Amino acid sequence: MTPYRSLFDLSDRRALVIGAGSGIGAAVAQGLSAFGAFVTCADLDLGAAERVRVGLEGPGEATRLDLTDSAQVAAVIGALPKLDILICTPAINVRKRLLELSEAEFERVVNLNLKGSFFALQAAGRRMAEAGGGSIVLFSSIRAQVVEPGQGVYAATKAGALQLVRALAAELGPYGVRANAIAPGVVETPLTAPIKAHPEWYRAYADKGALGRWATPDEMVGAAVFLASRAASYVTGTLLVVDGGWTAVDGRFTPPL
């Protein structure tokens, strides 16, 4: 009989969380630790990663990692005793219309969101394929599916990263490696903090979803733990949408039914 109670148990797993210093990455690192994983908290800000590491329920470590540096990504992943779970969360956005975006701004977003994701997927994929298994979870976005003015390049990188995940799932399935993506809706993180300074904008985003509010980073943990665990042993190449109904609701007007 399948030991269903143990499906989410990560006590024998080693996880690397890239972007663990704040926001969704910090919450996911804490969540994986709570389910028993040994967590390596990686972030460009080593101090932030260390603060998250100290707050873990179980054992862990902190390391500095620049996701845009392919050699550093490969070195950090290669130095781990083993790698069962990779969670990759970092992203940036430059909110400008496409006709106003500079080449430097375009490259800045692409270099982290798409190119950096590729570095992590490639290095972790190689390590897991050699070991004969593992789970890769990349944080994409609802912007991989829907877009609005000022989000063009960000959306393109999130859609591109999703396709990288799907390709990796197809290529590494025979090696027992699963690759999936999570698409959050609007989440209160450092990336979205500037929107809070505009109450009408903030409220409009809240009203767009079926639940009428923003998400908190801890509400992304369940999806990440699921995809990382044995509970998702037959789930690969998919996009798990955690958006409070954003992509299900058509428009902001509620008709008088």
Q: What are the catalytic residues?
A: 154
Give the C-alpha separation, 50 to 38, whole Å: 14
What is the pairing mode between strands 177-184 and 134-139?
Answer: parallel
Extract long-range pairs of 72-80: CB within 8 Å, 24+ residues apart: 73/116, 73/119, 73/120, 73/123, 74/119, 74/123, 76/16, 76/42, 77/16, 77/120, 77/123, 77/124, 77/127, 78/123, 78/127, 80/14, 80/16, 80/40, 80/127
Tokens of 105: 């701004």
Tell me if 190 sits within 8 A of 22, measured CB to CB.
yes
**CA–CA–CA angle 180, 223, 227 (5° rounding):** 40
CA-based nearest residue to 109, from 120, 122, 94, 97: 94
| Cα gap 240→102, rounded to integer Å | 32
Distance CA 26, CA 31 (A): 9
